Structure 1
Amino acid sequence: MAADGARTHDLVLYGATGFVGRLLARYLAGSAPAGLRIALAGRSRDRLEAVRAELPPAGRDWALVEADSGDAASLRALAESTRVLVTTVGPYARYGLPVVEACARAGTHYADLTGEVLFVRDAIDRCDAVAAGTGARIVHACGYDSIPSDLSTFLLAGRAAADGAGGLRDVRLVATARGGFSGGTIDSMRAQVEALQADPALRRVVGDPFALSPDRAAEPGTPQPRDAGLPARTPDGRWTAPFVMAPFNSRIVRRSNALQGWAYGRGLAYGEVMGAGRGPLGAVTAGAITAGLVATVSAMSLAPTRALLDRVLPAPGTGPGEAAREKGWFRMVVDATAEDGRRYRATAAGPGDPGYAATAVMLGETALALAVDGDRLPDRAGSLTPATALGEVLVERLRAAGHTYEVSAV
């Protein structure tokens, strides 16, 4: 493990030449405090120089580091050179484990954007104990997957506990958003489908609602997941549909609960759906969303139809233009019932395309919190979640960056 005094950087962005990497570099150039030693890392120095040249003035003197996920020596040197490494290089199951391992061994704090259950499970099994020993905070899921879900539940549980209402019994998130579908997300879905086809036994992991628990045997014997598989109608008349991110987000929330000694409640039933509107149009929209999701997953499961999808879906490393990103937004309304019957509502919202512009803010503030706010963060190390690694500090940072995180009794 490298001593902090031997590290030449405070924060390294690995994958800076990718689409989200470039957005993150631009965000950091406008938001990082003066004097923070930031570097851009990737496989090609020429491409890194091109990215750096397009940054605001604060980023044009940043160091450049060549590193490749297939070169263990370069990753070790990269991890040992910095206090914090943030990576946008995915699919993480394909490229991410060597990066996590290098950071865990070096005692380097790490953050990523993964939405891949199998990758996070592997990273936990391989790196949790090592990182706990070196003091590294390994923080997965630091974008739209899964910060709004994780922090909203964290805030709801804190409010219920402060009111003496006990733990949370039933929590349901309804997501609405405007934005494009990420090529990186699609590539991650494709990689997971391919992994399941190569090893069908992994279906048990993907299908387990407590797949990311630090102690699976200690979880409730009869899980009560709340992820919906069909269109449904809420008591107040809103139509909902399955939410593509729910299977991953819900497992991150359950891991946060378990890592904190089930502080949210031993009987927590948590789930997420997508809001589709009201009335006949809402019903039609919910049905269309459900059918589209089923069709996409089914098509990805077969090589011929997967090849056809590759021609029409966004490619990895691509994304919408600036005008489209600025028109986007996200809003998540999370209703919770506490153990004593009191009800609470959290709202997480923000401007910008959720998978790109808003995600750059979330990952950027995560990286800055790890680099700048160490003495204010929870005293934890190992394989963590946004809520358990950063908690209130990240909530404060995101509010200051223009995102909404509110909790009220209802």
Structure 2
Amino acid sequence: MASNRDYDIIVLGATGYTGKLTAEYLAKSVTEPVRWAIAGRSQSKLSDVAAKLNSSNAPAGTIVISELTVPEVTKLIAKKTKILINCIGPYHKYSTPVVQACAESGTHYLDVTGETPWVREIITKFEETAKKNKAVIIPEIGIESAPSDLVAYSAVKRIREIWDCGVMDMVAAVHELKTSGASGGTLATGLGLFEHYSAKQLKATTNPFCLSPLSERDHRHTKYPAPTTYRRTFGEKLTGAWKYPLLGDLTTSVTAGPNQAIVHRSAGKFPYYYGFNFNYAEYMAVASPINGMLVHFLIVFLTFCLAIPPIRAIVKGFMKYKPGEGPTVESTQDNRMEIRAVAVAEQLSKIPRKAFVNFLFEGGMYELTARLIVLGAITLLKEQDKIVKTHGYGFLTPSSLGQGYIDRLDKADVKIKVKQLGDLGSK
């Protein structure tokens, strides 16, 4: 990362819904000295955003970029900053040139996409370029999929510390999710995936290991390990409803796909730490098996419907928010997200060895996303040498930012707590 650039961080898409929240959080809440700027397509809108921030840590500049082409992004943004926070979605539609420009310029990049097909595509296209030019690229460092990735990392870290072994199986559950709804950009992105990618491409990314590099790095172990400490029956798989110790009744989670893919990429890049037989599965907690079946079949039905173009067109017409719009701050005051997870250590014993993790945030989900990506960028800015020494360059995951990231999040009221279950351990 070049040291003589104009800015430490540029927020691209700062006039959009998520971009504004990101800029606001960076201006109001980050006490470490950072020279940053905001970028977008409209000077008047950028000026309005900058004026409303009204902070001693206000952006040092505004950058107008009319076209998201590789030459223009490279000239106006990528070569001017050390780190780019990209809030322009749908990412599959607009942001491939942005990633390419960063990879070619040696500029670190973070975004908040949840578009697994696109993430798979850019990894294939730009991984080697990013490594060659010493760029760190971290997609999905928002609500998808940083919480899940940090929960998994925290469990593995605790088990390593106590029992000096990896993890076999990990089951996570969205225990509570109270939200004021999705923004217009999020909804447009979800609908756009069905139009941009073929059914074959979408199906390929339903595999929870679709982003894992493990099969490319080590062929001595199972390519896609199946759970070894529990089994779901045919009926449970069919209905989606089942029960897991300490987590209760569970069912299919609509957000599990991207989260599982990112967690397995983390594990696949560092199998000697996570464990070669590591398996992560994510579900949603429900009040009863009946509720679980209803939720599961509803998700299946809606997915089928959205694959039909006329139905997508109808859904677009009834969207509450348009792209660039989202829930008001007032409506998100009582929002809440809690994830609970159980990880089983590789060393089986008479007394089961496990770690129990709890992730909790009280506030709006897009506010959470802003904290996740801003503090991720600050961690990368301040701890780059340590992160690169451990993980190298190229496409990394949120957990690669390590304990320093988790500590910053803790101070920002994003809480991740871990406790051991079982014997005292060997260390």
TM-score, normalised to structure 2, is 0.88
Cα distance in 1 for residues equivalent to 2:294 and 2:53: 41
CA distance in 1: counterparts of 2:301 and 2:10, whole angstroms: 39
What per-residue deviation string (whole Å, max 9, x for no partner) do you get for residues 44-83 of structure 1? 1111111111113225453000124533322001100000
1:362 aligns with 2:376: no
Counterparts of 1:162-311 in structure 2 under 5 Å? Answer: 162-175=161-174, 176-183=176-183, 184-196=185-197, 199-217=198-216, 218=219, 220-224=222-226, 230-235=240-245, 238-277=248-287, 282-311=288-317
Which residue matches 1:130?
129
Structure 2 CA distance, aligned partners of 1:223 and 1:192? 28
The equivalent position to 1:346 in structure 2, one of 342, 357, 382, is 357
Contact 1:299–1:309 at 8 Å: present in 2 too?
Answer: no
Q: Is the 8 A contact 2:127 2:394 kept in 1?
A: yes
Q: Which residue number in structure 2 is paired with residue 381 of structure 1?
A: 393
Q: Deviations over 1:136-172 (max 9, x none)?
A: 1101111111111111111111111122252111100
Return the alpha-carbon distance in structure 2 between the equivalents of residues 283 and 56 of structure 1: 51
Out of 57, 65, 70, the position equivalent to 1:72 is: 70
Give 1:23's aligned residue.
Answer: 21
Equivalent residue of 1:4, what SS? coil
Cα deviation, residue 292, structure 1: 3.2
- The equivalent residue for 1:391 is 402
Structure 1 counterpart of 2:226, which letter?
Answer: Q
Counterpart AA for 1:99: V
> Could you say what secondary structure the match of 2:100 adopts?
helix
Verify the 8 A CA contact 2:143 2:372 in the aligned structure 1: yes
Tell me the equivalent position of 1:328: 335
2:53 to 40, 52, 55: 55
Query: Is the CA contact (8 Å cut-off) linking 2:37 and 2:59 kept in structure 1?
Result: no
Are the counterparts in 1 of residues 7 and 35 from structure 2 also a CA contact under 8 Å?
Answer: yes
Partner Cα separation in structure 1 for residue 271 and residue 244 of structure 2: 31
The RMSD of aligned alpha carbons is 2.2
1:233 corresponds to which letter in structure 2? Answer: K
Q: Is the 8 A contact 1:210 1:216 kept in 2?
A: no
Unaligned runs of 5+ in 1: none
Task: Determine if contact 2:38/2:59 at 8 Å carries over to the other structure.
Answer: no
How many matched pairs? 400
Letter in 1 for 2:377: A
Q: 1:36 to 1:204 in 2, by over 3 A?
A: same
- Return the offset for 1:275: 1.1
2: distance between equivalents of 1:235 and 1:32? 40
What secondary structure is seen at the aligned counterpart in 2 of 1:220? coil
CA contact (8 A) 2:27 2:59 kept: no
- Distance, in Å, in 2 between the alignment partners of 1:237 and 1:269 is 17
Query: Structure 1 residue 381: deviation in Å?
Result: 0.9
Match of 2:274, SS state, is: coil
Shift of 1:339: 0.9
Q: Does the CA contact (< 8 Å) of 2:215 and 2:223 recur in 1?
A: no
Distance 1:319 1:257, change over 3 A: same
User: SS state of the match for residue 402, structure 1?
Assistant: coil
Equivalent in the alignment of 2:99:
100
Task: Tell me how far 1:236 sits from its aligned partner.
Answer: 5.6
Identity %: 28
The CA deviation at 1:34 is 5.6
Deviations 1:294-334 (A, max 9, x none): 23222211111111211333433221111122211111111
Residues 218-246 of structure 1, C-alpha deviations (whole Å, 9 max, x = no match): 47245427996712233468322211111
CA 1:69/1:350 → structure 2, altered by over 3 Å: closer, same or farther? Answer: farther
Partner of 1:121: 120
Aligned to 1:404: 415
Alignment CA distance shift 1:283-1:170 (3 Å) = same
Query: Structure 2 CA distance, aligned partners of 1:343 and 1:235?
Result: 11
Q: Could you give the per-residue CA deviations for residues 352-383 of structure 1, whole angstroms, max 9, x where no partner exists?
A: 122x1111111111121122332443422111
1:46 is matched with: 44
TM superposition shift of 1:208: 2.6
CA offsets 1:23-60 (integer angstroms, 9 cap, x no match): 11110001233642110001111111111111132254
Amino acid at match of 1:182: A
- Distance in 2 of aligned mates of 1:154 and 1:236: 19
Whether the aligned pair in 1 keeps the contact of 2:247 and 2:341 (CA below 8 Å) is no
Please tell me whether the aligned partners of residues 214 and 223 of structure 2 are also in contact (alpha carbons under 8 angstroms).
no
Residue segments in structure 2 that go unaligned for 5+ positions in a row: 422-427
Moved more, 292-301 or 150-159: 292-301
Amino acid at match of 1:381: Y
